[in-house]
Amino acid sequence: MAVKLEVPGGLPAEPLRRFLLAHTVPGAETHLDGVHRRVFPGGVEATVDVGTGERCEVVHVTGPVAPEVVRRWLDLDGDHARAERHLSADPLLAPLVAARPGLRVPRAVSGAETALLTVLGQQVSLAAARTFAGRLVAAYGTPRETLVEFPAPAALAAAGPDAIRAVTGVTGARARTLHVLSTVLADGLDLDTADPAAARAELLALPGIGPWTADYVALRVFGDSDAFLPSDLVLRRALGRVPAREAAARAEPWRPWRGYALLHLWTAEVFA
């Protein structure tokens, strides 16, 4: 099955290609020249092609994945135009918006997967997080056609924190957080359908999960376009290495589009 997904207004393709490549989990995903292949819900593999050009007007999808899943994942229907009009009033953001009109906020294919990957990415580089994730996939994932599906929460819950630490090389504290989150997810917390405020509170109650993790999940899983991570190191660097409190205050005028502002700042620092 092959479908073409129109991109309203188009989007800057290179930042999206770099974002997808930077988050590609070894064994579970591949990315080459804008062609991204991964396992989607239901254990099916599909390919998403955003092209190699400067702009992407159409996303080509090959495989048995529902178009709405891809549209949501790539934020194709996000209200970027309203966000850009609002953010363009800020002298810091105006040139970033002008340089990359149509920039989207990549969301999530699977809430559980994204939440677990977010824990793996706490206080480490994207490269280190990919390495940890690849080890987790190799040990506990489910083989599919050509790739391995990211581990189900139940598999990680059954494995236990000591085994997770031995397999991945993460710290003991990080392994315990992965295990307790996996257990809560396996016991019924469905981040894809849960009430965002209630789910955020439940996440924050878990050991090892603080505001940075909860807000990243809000941004990518809950689709909260006003989610913001004031303590994020890349963001603070983009704002002139300010402390988190100052970053939060600086972002107040960006409401209710702080998530899009965050992506513009991240992109300028990392994915441009």
Q: What is the pLDDT of residues 147-167, one digit of tens each?
A: 999 999 999 999 999 999 999
DSSP state, 57?
E
pLDDT in tens, 122-146: 999 999 999 999 999 999 999 999 9
pLDDT at 83 over 90: yes
Looking at CATH, the fold of the domain delimited by 111-220 is given as Endonuclease III; domain 1 (1.10.340)
Collapsing DSSP states into helix, strand and coil, what is residue 203?
Answer: helix
Q: What is the pLDDT of residue 1?
A: 86
Q: Could you give the residue numbers annotated as active site?
A: 232
Rounded to 5°, the CA angle 2-7-11 comes to: 125
Q: How many CB atoms lie within 10 A of CB 249?
A: 12
pTM: 0.96
pLDDT tens, 174-224? 999 999 999 999 999 999 999 999 999 999 999 999 999 999 999 999 999
- Most distant CA pair in the chain: distance in Å? 51
DSSP-assigned beta bridge partners for residue 105: none
Contact by Cβ (8 Å): 45, 147: yes
**pLDDT of the residue at 272:** 78
Nearest to 109 by CA among 48, 200, 60: 48
- Cβ–Cβ < 8 Å for 155, 140: yes
Over range 237-264, report the average pLDDT. Answer: 98
Query: Which amino acid, residue 70?
Result: V
2-54 pLDDT tens trace: 999 999 999 999 999 999 999 999 999 999 999 999 999 999 999 999 999 99
Coil vs helix vs strand at 55: strand
Domain definitions of the chain by residue range = 2-77, 111-220
